[in-house]
A and B are shown apart, each in its own frame.
Chain A
Amino acid sequence: MRYLTTAPISWERVTYLNRWASHDGCGAVVTFVGVVRADQDGRRVVRALCYETYPEMAEPLIHRLADDAKARWSLDGVQIQHRLGLVEVGHISVVIVVAAQHRAEAHAASEHLIERIKQDVPIWKREQYDDGTSQWMTGARELLGVADPAGADHADV
């Protein structure tokens, strides 16, 4: 898979993606790095997120989003990597690198891409808490009901 990876995304990898996206014509490289946060949900604290996807749909959709952004903002390069599987607090879940001639286009394209990914690309996260429970994040938290005590048994997603 080109955009989705089950392998950890290191900071060295982020640097590599920056170098790969930029060249002599670029005046601006904007890098967005999403990192897993230790959110609190009542008495529970998030210790990791587990991502799953519909790969046959997500990969071409991300590709199209990148192509559309390139054309719309005349970008020089776009690199996108999104994690699948278990990502612990402090680790990288997503990287978007946008290279353009000027910073306005690079910032606008970066913001657009993360918004589209969060709204349209079929990727789901399940929060894993320090008390062993877990819960899908699919829309508003209050619609999901209370914590599923059996959630820890579903950790193989």
Chain B
Amino acid sequence: MDVRVRFFATLRDAAGRDESWLALEPGARGVDAKATLVARHPRLAGLIGSARLSVNQAYQPWETPLRDGDELGLIPPVSGG
């Protein structure tokens, strides 16, 4: 299955791109996407530990099972206001 990943702020700078598509095994969870991303973009390694996961624009635990076509967001600590 394929998922779309969107990068923001520090994670976008580290990945060098706004988004990426990942091909994952059926039954993959957020943590599997995380591992695949770090392997592909090693500069994410030091930053992704403090990031939250969003799936289809809502915060979800990293253990969340993913579905084909999901939009994942890598949300570094926010700093609005």
- Residues on A lying within 8 angstroms of B by beta carbon are 34, 51-54, 56-57, 60, 82, 93-94, 114, 117-126, 136-139, 143-144, 154, 157
Indicate if the CB atoms of B73 and A125 lie closer than 8 Å: no
In Å, the complex CA distance between A119 and B79 comes to 7
Indicate if the CB atoms of B13 and A54 lie closer than 8 Å: no
**Given known A-B contacts A52-B9, A138-B10, A139-B50, A57 and B81 have beta carbons under 8 A apart:** no
Indicate if the CB atoms of B78 and A120 lie closer than 8 Å: yes
SS class, residues of chain A in contact with chain B: mixed
Q: Which residue of B lies closest to A49 (CB)?
A: B79
Q: How many A-B residue pairs have CB under 8 A?
A: 74
B29 within 8 A of A: no
- Residues on B lying within 8 angstroms of A by beta carbon are 6, 8-10, 13, 50, 54, 57-59, 73, 75-81
Indicate if the CB atoms of A117 and B81 lie closer than 8 Å: yes
In Å, the complex CA distance between A94 and B64 comes to 33
